[in-house]
Amino acid sequence: MDAVTVNEEGVPYFFKGDHLYKGFHGDPELANETFAEMDDDHHLGHVDAAFHMQHEGDNDDDHIYFFLDNKVFSYYQHKLVEGFPKDISEVFPGIPDHLDAAVECPKPECDEESVIFFKGDDIYHYNVKTKAVDKKEFVSMPNCTSAFRFMEHYFCFHGHQFSKFAPKTGEVHGKYPKPVSGYFLRCAHFADEDDKVERERCSRVHLDALTSDDAGNMYAFRDHHLIEKDEGNDTVAVDTIEHVFKELHSDVDAVFSYDDHLYMIKDDHVHVYKVAVPHAHLEGYPKTVKEELGIEGHVDAAFVCEDHHIAHFIQGNKMVDVDMKIHPRVPTNERPLALFKKVDAAMCGPAGLKVVVGNHFYRFDSLMLMVAARALPEQHRVSTELFGCDH
């Protein structure tokens, strides 16, 4: 990657050549479709470096900075700030041209509100308030082609790999480097399968679906992988979805458990499996979502709470209910979700309701409390708290 940053809503932007990837998977687009002025003023062959200013109280808070050769561009809400582009030396005195990478470093992660710039072996800590530059050398870290602050951690990208580092010292702890594919960008057939459990357990790519069976075993789905967590001993196993559920052929949109069966929604069809070893695909399926559940339109997430027969389906920022004991099934009780614009996955059980958005999930004691809530509860990390990743 040439540069990595986040936009004002926290969506990662990955730059490679003249293309831009928004989020953790999906098709690339031309970067000049979003940031046209960089191409108008300076041919956008590639972005050298980028960062998102996140220093509360600063006039430039929530601005995204892009560095191309000797110029810097500042965007606010995807609009070029008046007067830009400018020379890097004018905006960030003491910082060289033709940078390799840049990343913001707010307090207390750095001693002062700072930006860290990378060029070859040289590291520059730039004090946002005083404009002082402290030049350092990170001896234990490879040269970064891009750098990224995400979930309060710092990542150096180099080639097809990345390392997590301490922003003050550059120290790298743990099993690094790791492949970018699988942890940050989802490339279906470009990954080392030897350490797939570690990769999926600690991946930052969002989940597509999540549920648990009657015994409490958890099933999580991410692209073409299935992550199973055993309730009895908390062990995590990873396999391809196609190997375990061969009729599905890769990714799913939503999954829920009801009456010892897994209902798996993919596009506009539903597959139903009996929970067993191996899981048994029921005869007569797949059926259309409309035929089986009475629902029209894309389903983002689905869940059934413990000992209930009402399935809940999230579509965008609304939710509908379906009584699974009634035939034909009809969606009822449509209501808005005040807290969420988009949900990736959801699961309900004895510990309450978990709603997954991106890399985090939110825990509610009950469905009723989630619907009535007007403020988000504490964030929990999917990788560490659902799958036991130790970093």
Q: Which two tokens stand for residue 355?
A: 């709603």
| 345 in Cβ contact with 301 (< 8 Å) | yes
| 166 in Cβ contact with 154 (< 8 Å) | yes
* Domain 3-191 shares a fold with domain 204-386: yes
Cα distances from 341 to residues 23, 219, 344, 370, in angstroms, run: 16, 24, 10, 14
> So what's the architecture of 204-386 in CATH?
4 Propeller (2.110)
* 3-state SS class at 365: coil
Q: Which of 323, 211, 312, 329 is nearest to 260 (CA)?
A: 211
What type of residue is 123?
I
The reported pLDDT for the residue numbered 36 is 80
| 388 in Cβ contact with 236 (< 8 Å) | yes
- Compute the distance between CA of residue 192 and CA of residue 215 in angstroms, rounded to an integer: 32
- Compute the distance between CA of residue 210 and CA of residue 355 in angstroms, rounded to an integer: 9
Give the pTM: 0.59
- Compute the distance between CA of residue 304 and CA of residue 387 in angstroms, rounded to an integer: 21
Cis peptide before 331 (omega within 30 of 0): no
Task: Determine which helix (DSSP H) or strand (DSSP E) holds 235, and give its type and residue range.
Answer: none
341 CB-contact burial (10 Å; exposed 0-12 / middle 13-18 / buried 19+) = exposed
Could you tell me the residue ranges of all domains in the chain? 3-191, 204-386
* 3-state SS class at 257: strand
Mean pLDDT in order along the chain per 10 residues (391 residues): 86 86 80 78 72 72 89 90 93 94 93 93 92 87 88 86 90 81 64 67 87 89 89 81 84 93 94 90 94 95 90 95 95 93 92 91 93 91 87 68
Fold of 3-191: Hemopexin (2.110.10)
Strand-strand pairing, 71-76 and 86-87:
antiparallel
Q: State the distance between the two ends of the chain, measured CA to CA, in whole angstroms.
A: 23
321 CB-contact burial (10 Å; exposed 0-12 / middle 13-18 / buried 19+) = middle
- Compute the distance between CA of residue 37 and CA of residue 21 in angstroms, rounded to an integer: 18
What type of residue is 173?
H
Phi and psi torsions of 339, nearest 5°: -85, -20
The reported pLDDT for the residue numbered 232 is 67
The reported pLDDT for the residue numbered 351 is 85
The reported pLDDT for the residue numbered 45 is 63
List, in order, residues 6 or more apart from 25 with CB less than 8 Å away: 185, 186, 205, 223
- Compute the distance between CA of residue 288 and CA of residue 272 in angstroms, rounded to an integer: 11
The reported pLDDT for the residue numbered 16 is 86
For tokens 């069976």, what's the residue?
A: 213
Residue/partner pairs of 52-59 with CB below 8 Å, 24 or more apart: 52/5, 52/6, 52/7, 52/8, 52/104, 52/149, 53/104, 53/115, 53/128, 54/104, 54/106, 54/149, 55/104, 55/106, 55/113, 55/128, 58/113, 58/128, 58/129
The residues with which 80 forms a beta bridge, in sequence order, are 75
What type of residue is 24?
F
CB burial readout 268-304, b (16+ within 10 A) else e: bbbbbbebeeebebeeeebeebeebbbbeeebbbbbb
| 44 in Cβ contact with 38 (< 8 Å) | yes
Phi and psi torsions of 88, nearest 5°: -60, -40
